[in-house]
Amino acid sequence: MNMQIVRFSLAAALLTAAPILEMASANDFRERGKAAKLSASAVSITPPRDWNKLDIRPGKFAETWTLDGEQLNDVTFYTGVEPGAPLVKERNKKRKPLPKFGAETLLVEVPELLEGTYRAYKEIGEFRLTGSKPGSYLGVKGVEFTYDYTDGDQIRRQGEAHAAIIGGKLYMATYDAPKIHFFQRNIADYRALISTAKIM
């Protein structure tokens, strides 16, 4: 191989790698002890340990944080979901509409809202609500619930969520992880993280 071909091949490789490198650095680092404001909201979080915020947001009111990757430990914050809006962005409003948070939605109906959203958005057939009880989130009374489901990758996942309705808007945090090993490994990290959530 002559030098011209080597140079061309190297340039082509760098051009191919550029988008990958850009994507890898697009996520935001959330440093331990430093308050971070959640996107487009008055909610701030001071993480007790380092986290990563994914650059790609699932919706206008949602953003995802993770320790090792969203498939292994996924914390999604839904902040200030307005009446008439879905939790995540609808891919096809006509053919696959998502359930909407409504002005009349009660706290006890929030688990059903998440279930309907998961079934439609993730296109899963099986979702099981495993527990629901009064709780708190952002310092106000709310609902805490647990669930499990099998995702499209056929991995059984377990979840826990905390939600509150403040000023007619929905605020919720969810933690999803594979039921085997990862859920138990980081559930304490999730609970410690959301315990620092404050609304200004």
Per-chain mean pLDDT for the chain: 88
Distance CA 62, CA 126 (A): 23
What residue type is assigned to position 66 of the chain? T
Q: Each residue of 164-188: pLDDT tens digit?
A: 999 999 999 999 999 999 999 999 9
Q: Say whether pLDDT at 10 is over 60.
A: no
Q: Say whether pLDDT at 59 is over 70.
A: yes
Q: Per the structure block, which two tokens stand in for 161?
A: 């969520």
Q: Say whether pLDDT at 61 is over 80.
A: yes
Q: What is the pTM of this model?
A: 0.85
Q: Say whether pLDDT at 16 is over 50.
A: no
Q: Report the pLDDT value the prediction gives residue 73, as an integer from 0 to 100.
A: 95
Distance CA 35, CA 196 (A): 9
Q: Report the pLDDT value the prediction gives residue 194, as an integer from 0 to 100.
A: 98
Q: Strand (E) positions, the chain? A: 28-30, 36-37, 43-45, 51-53, 62-66, 74-81, 127-137, 140-150, 156-166, 169-178, 198-199
Q: Report the pLDDT value the prediction gives residue 8, as an integer from 0 to 100.
A: 36
Give SS3 for 194.
Answer: helix
Task: Decide which of 161 and 19 is more confident.
Answer: 161
Q: Each residue of 64-119: pLDDT tens digit?
A: 999 999 899 999 999 999 999 999 999 888 888 999 999 999 999 999 999 999 99
The Cβ of residue 37 has, within 10 Å, a number of other Cβ atoms equal to 12
Q: Say whether pLDDT at 13 is over 90.
A: no
3-state helix, strand, coil in the chain (%, to 5): 25, 35, 35
Q: Report the pLDDT value the prediction gives residue 159, as an integer from 0 to 100.
A: 98
